[in-house]
Structure 1
Amino acid sequence: MLPAWLDLIAGPVVAATQAPAVGELKGEVLREWGSSEVWRLSYGLRSVIVKRGSDAQTSEGAAYRRFVVPLQLPAPRLIHSAETSDAVLLVLADVGRVNLEQEPSASGFLAAAELLAEVRSKPVDVASEFTSRQLVELVRRSPVGPELAERLFSLGVAALDQLHEATPARVVHGDYVPKNLVTDGTRWTIVDWPLAYVAPHLSDLYTLVRDAVAVGHQAEPIVARYIDAAGTDPSLVQRQLTAGGIAFILRALTWVVEEGVRTVPSSSEWIEPLLAELDDVTKDLR
């Protein structure tokens, strides 16, 4: 069985796989959510990844145009893209069958820290898209209680303003988690870029460390590997991590209440744990 929307991108898929016809392709569903559908299509040893994204996922094509292609970021090669009235369709190079979620090794997390340093080394000619103004807006749109909101309005705004003065904004993947870090056994690649934006914080390192700790690894070696690979100041990285944690959680909370409850109903169960995590992260604000 193949995706119903394949006809819209059949030509590039057939050309990339060298299949004699669409009907000769083998299809494997990799993800099927309300706003995102991902397949591996193969013919013999040749395969591609095809994606259909709606709602927030429609921005992946724009992320490739804005960041991935011009900055030559470590992402799957974009073979073809197309748009419909309510979705974006992408044909991407297949970069591997194993991700860090499937095999959460210590060496994999360290490699991901180095990969992130590579992404953050690329200068961008784009203003920050997570300033204190965005922070205040997200707090007001999310289910944050008054006491925590006041802490974010006072300490969080000041910390984020200071961070913008201390370091330039760089590309943030926005969902830098093990399932989006794929390897072919030799090289690691970052997949799924629809949430990419520009900011000076390190929410990507925050989420990487967060998931590493959840599977039993230590945070310190991963942060140290990033600091070494990026050649940056450890105290600055700690400030970037705190701001990054706040940014990640607020964006996640806002997504859940504005979209997730509709497209992924079970995401409503994430709200209370995320609020508790946000309260904990803000204790590091100075």
Structure 2
Amino acid sequence: MLPVWLDPIAEPVLAATQAPDVGELKGEVLREWGSSEVWRLSYGLRSVIVKRGSDAQTSEGSAYERFVVPLNLPAPRLIHSSTTDDAVLLVLADVGLVNLEQEPTAEGFLAAASLLAEVRSKPVDAASEFTSSHLLDLVLRSPADADLTARLESLVSAVDALHEETPARVVHGDYVPKNLVTDGTRWTIVDWPLAYVAPHLSDLYTLARDAVAVGHQSEPIVARYIDASGADPELVRRQLALGGVAFTLRALTWIVEEGSQTVPSSSEWIAPLLTELDDLAKDLA
């Protein structure tokens, strides 16, 4: 079984795998959502990852152009990219069979914290995409009630202050265990369509959050990031809190505006995300 949309990218797939023709390829579905479909295609010992992204997922090609390639970020090598009427098709190097979700070890989470410090060390020539104006726009688009909206609007000064204290860097935007892949030696970050630029640490927030969910402690992960980056612990604390606000707000607006149609089960995430957002806003108040 192979993806029905393979024809436009068949040539680079065959070149990368050295398969004599498409009929010789073996296909394995890795993800099949409304806006994202991911396959591993292989011939013998050679394999590639092919992706079809629509809606918000179409921006992965531009993320490679803006950030991944020029900054040499730890991401799969882009072999080919093409665009159809409503989707982007990517052929990527296969960087490993195991992700951190499948094997959620403490060592893996610590390695991911160090990897994030590497990403955040790269200066980027782009303006922040999470300023106080962006905060207010997301608040208006979110399903927050009047009390939570007021608390979030009071964070404008905190967001402005963060921009004065530290430069904006690349944010992956979905730094969760399923997007951290290893070949047994090296860790790589996959799935970059949500990447943007900001001074906060939403990526460290989601990494620590998911570590706690599987029974690990968050403190060693944050400490590893601080050690690897040489950052000020107090600054990191505020970057984490505002990163949590950014993550939950972006997730909520995505669910309301797109996710409820493309991933219907995402509607169930709204209530817990609002509770999480409320707790973060209170902590920052």
**TM-score scaled by length of structure 2:** 1.00
SS at structure 2 position matched to 1:79: strand
Runs (5+) with no aligned partner, structure 1:
none
Distance 1:158 1:103 in 2: 40
Distance 1:64 1:14 in 2: 22
Distance 2:265 2:179 in 1: 20
Partner of 1:184: 183
Measure how far apart 1:283 and its partner are. Answer: 1.8
Distance 1:274 1:158 in 2: 23
SS at structure 2 position matched to 1:4: coil
Measure how far apart 1:138 and its partner are. Answer: 0.4
Measure how far apart 1:28 and its partner are. Answer: 0.1
Partner of 2:42: 42
Deviating beyond 4 angstroms after TM superposition, the runs of 4 or more aligned structure 1 residues are none
Partner of 1:147: 147
Distance 1:112 1:87 in 2: 30
Q: Is the 8 A contact 2:170 2:196 kept in 1?
A: yes
Measure how far apart 1:285 and its partner are. Answer: 0.8
Measure how far apart 1:284 and its partner are. Answer: 1.7
Partner of 1:274: 273
Aligned amino acid, residue 48 of structure 2:
V
Partner of 1:249: 248
Measure how far apart 1:282 and its partner are. Answer: 1.1
Percent sequence identity over matched residues?
82
Distance 1:232 1:136 in 2: 28
Q: Is the 8 A contact 2:151 2:282 kept in 1?
A: no
Runs (5+) with no aligned partner, structure 2:
none
SS at structure 1 position matched to 2:92: strand
Partner of 1:131: 131
Distance 2:7 2:153 in 1: 49
Q: Deviations over 1:34-82 (max 9, x none)?
A: 0000000000000000000000000000000000000000000000000
**TM-score scaled by length of structure 1:** 0.99
Partner of 2:227: 228
Distance 1:282 1:183 in 2: 35
Q: Deviations over 1:254-274 (max 9, x none)?
A: 000000010000100000000
Partner of 1:240: 239
Distance 1:42 1:211 in 2: 31
Q: Write out aligned runs for 1:1-286 (5 A).
A: 1-154=1-154, 156-286=155-285
Q: Deviations over 1:137-171 (max 9, x none)?
A: 000001001111101111x1111000000000000
Number of paired residues?
285
